[in-house]
Amino acid sequence: MTRLETPADVEVAAVVGAGEMGRGIAAVQALAGREVRLFDVDQEQLSNAMEHVEWSVGKAVEKGQVDEGEQEAALSRLSTADSVADAVSGADFVTEAVVERQAVKESVFEDLDEHAPEGAILATNTSGLNVTKLAETTDRPGLVCGTHWFNPPMLMELVEVIETEHLDPDVGDLMMAYVEAIGKTPIRCRKDVPSFIVNRCFRPYGEAAAWLAYYGEAEKEAVDSAMKYREDFPMGPFELADFTGGIQLRVEGEQDHLEDDRLLAYDTRVCPLLHELYEEGHYGRKSGRGYYDYAEREEPYVPATAGREFDPMRVWAPVINEAAKMVQHDVATVEDVDTGMKLGGNWPVGPFEKADEVGAKTVVRYCVEWSERHDPFNKAMETLPCDLLVETAKAGARFR
C-alpha cells in the first residue's frame, strides 16, 4: 500500500536516467513545485543534463510560458545525486528513464526497490517494454506502473499511465491525478500490452504502407503525399519511419514481440521490405538513407500532387482496426485512444473520429479487402476486422 493519497502528497520525486527524457521529466516536476533529484551513472551526462535543464527552462521564460520567479524556484528544487540510493532517499515517486532494454531496466528496478522508501511509487518511462516484468522484480508490484512521456517532455502534453495486473487501483488513480497536477494530460492504458496505446496505433500506420510498397501496390511518395497533404498528418508513414529510425526498431524488436506473452502480443512478421533495408544498413536519417536517400537533402521531396490517386483508407483501416481491438479488450477507452493519437502523435483526428466520419461499415470493408487481396497480409497484419468493429458496423452505430 502507498502512503500517498493525493497528488499534493508527492513532495519529493526522483528521476533515474539523465538523458533527454529523464532530464525533461525532472524539469517538468520541478516547475510543478516538487523537489526533484536526478541521477545517472554517467557523470558527464548528469552534468550536461543540468545545463540543458537551465537552457530549456530559460527558453520557456523567453516564450512567456514561465516567469523568472518560477524559473529560479524550479532550478533551486532540482539537484543531482551521487547514487541511486541518494536519489531515491525520502522520495515519494521515482521515475526510471534509462536505456530502452528490458534487462537493464529490471536491474534498475531491483535497485530502486531496495533503496526507495516503503510506500514510494515506482514508474518506468518505457515506450513499450514489459512493465509487468519490471514490477515483478520488486517486493512492491502493486506500486509499480508505467508513465510513458513523449519527447520533448517540456513541450509534449501527453503521458500514458500504464497499469499491470498487480497494480493497486488506487495507485493508478493517483498517477492519473498526479500527471494532471503537474500540467500534463494523462491517458490510461488499463492493461500492459506491447507498445501501449499510441505506439500500438503507429505500428499499423507504418506497416500497412510498407506492405503496399513491398507488393508494388503503391509508391512510397504517393502514400506519404496522401497522408500528409490530404489527411493532414505531420509526416507520411515512410517519412516518419526514417525520422524515428522505425526501420531498425521494427526489425530488431521482431523477436521480442513474437516471444511476448502479454495480451495482444504481436505474433505478426515484419515486412520483408524493412528487413532488406535493415540488412543494407539503411535505418533512416541517422544512417543517411532509409526509404529515402538523404545524401543530397535533409528532407525527402514528396510532391503534394503525388498522392492524388492513393486511397488513404488503405492505411487508415488497419489503424482503426488495431484501435478497436484495444477497446474490445478493455485496454483503453475510445476517448483515450483518440486523445493519445492527437496529443502524442500530432494526428489531425483520432482513429475513432475517422471511423465515425467514414462509417464502421466502410472500415470493415477495407479490412476484409486487405485480408483477401494478399494472404500474407492476413498473417502479417491481422487485418481481419475485430468483433467490436464488425458489431459496430452491423448496428450502424458510432464509436463516439
Q: Tell whether 400 is covered by a domain.
A: no
Checking if the pLDDT of 267 tops 80, the result is no
- Each residue of 74-93: pLDDT tens digit? 999 999 999 999 999 999 99
Residues 341 and 198: beta-carbon distance below 8 Å: yes
Catalytically annotated residue among 96, 125, 127, 257: 127
Average pLDDT over residues 262-285: 86
- Is residue 146 domain-shared with residue 233, that is, in the same domain? no
Q: What share of the chain is helix, strand, coil (3-state, %, to 5)?
A: 50, 10, 40
- Is residue 242 domain-shared with residue 390, that is, in the same domain? yes
The rounded percent of the chain whose pLDDT value lies above 70 is 96
Q: Tell whether 339 is covered by a domain.
A: yes
- Is residue 61 domain-shared with residue 144, that is, in the same domain? yes
Question: By residue range, what is the domain housing residue 152?
Answer: 7-189
The domain boundary, picked from 189, 206, 228, lies at 189
The pLDDT of residue 31: 96
Confidence of residue 66 (pLDDT cuts 50, 70, 90): confident
Catalytically annotated residue among 115, 148, 257, 282: 148
- Is residue 217 domain-shared with residue 346, that is, in the same domain? yes
The pLDDT of residue 38: 98
Confidence of residue 381 (pLDDT cuts 50, 70, 90): low
Checking if the pLDDT of 380 tops 70, the result is no
- Each residue of 302-315: pLDDT tens digit? 999 999 999 999 99
- Each residue of 20-58: pLDDT tens digit? 999 999 999 999 999 999 999 999 999 999 999 999 999
Q: Tell whether 270 is covered by a domain.
A: yes
- Is residue 185 domain-shared with residue 202, that is, in the same domain? no
Catalytic annotation present for 299: no
Residue matched to cell numbers 535505418? 283
Cα angle, residue 348 at apex, residues 345 and 351 outer, rounded to 5°: 75
Q: Which residues pair with 266 in a beta bridge?
A: none
Q: Tell whether 42 is covered by a domain.
A: yes
Catalytically annotated residue among 96, 130, 160, 225: 160
Confidence of residue 375 (pLDDT cuts 50, 70, 90): low
- Is residue 241 domain-shared with residue 273, that is, in the same domain? yes
Checking if the pLDDT of 374 tops 80, the result is no
- CATH code at position 355: 1.10.1040.50
Residues 266 and 258: beta-carbon distance below 8 Å: yes
Count the neighbouring beta carbons within 10 Å of the beta carbon of residue 279: 9
* 284 three-class SS: strand
Catalytically annotated residue among 89, 199, 287, 371: 199
Count the neighbouring beta carbons within 10 Å of the beta carbon of residue 118: 10
The domain boundary, picked from 168, 189, 210, lies at 189
- CATH code at position 124: 3.40.50.720
How many domains does the structure of the chain reveal?
2
Q: Tell whether 146 is covered by a domain.
A: yes
Average pLDDT over residues 149-176: 97
Catalytic annotation present for 199: yes
The pLDDT of residue 268: 67
Q: Tell whether 314 is covered by a domain.
A: yes
- Is residue 211 domain-shared with residue 280, that is, in the same domain? yes
171 contacts: CB under 8 Å, gap ≥ 6: 2, 121, 142, 143, 145
Q: Tell whether 174 is covered by a domain.
A: yes
The domain boundary, picked from 141, 168, 189, lies at 189
- Is residue 130 domain-shared with residue 243, that is, in the same domain? no
Q: What is the mean pLDDT of the chain?
A: 93
Catalytic annotation present for 378: no
Average pLDDT over residues 196-203: 95
Catalytic annotation present for 47: no
- Is residue 103 domain-shared with residue 152, that is, in the same domain? yes
DSSP 8-state secondary structure symbol assigned to residue 301: -
Checking if the pLDDT of 261 tops 90, the result is no
- Is residue 306 domain-shared with residue 245, that is, in the same domain? yes
- Is residue 175 domain-shared with residue 265, that is, in the same domain? no
Q: Tell whether 337 is covered by a domain.
A: yes
- Is residue 252 domain-shared with residue 290, that is, in the same domain? yes
Residues 347 and 233: beta-carbon distance below 8 Å: yes
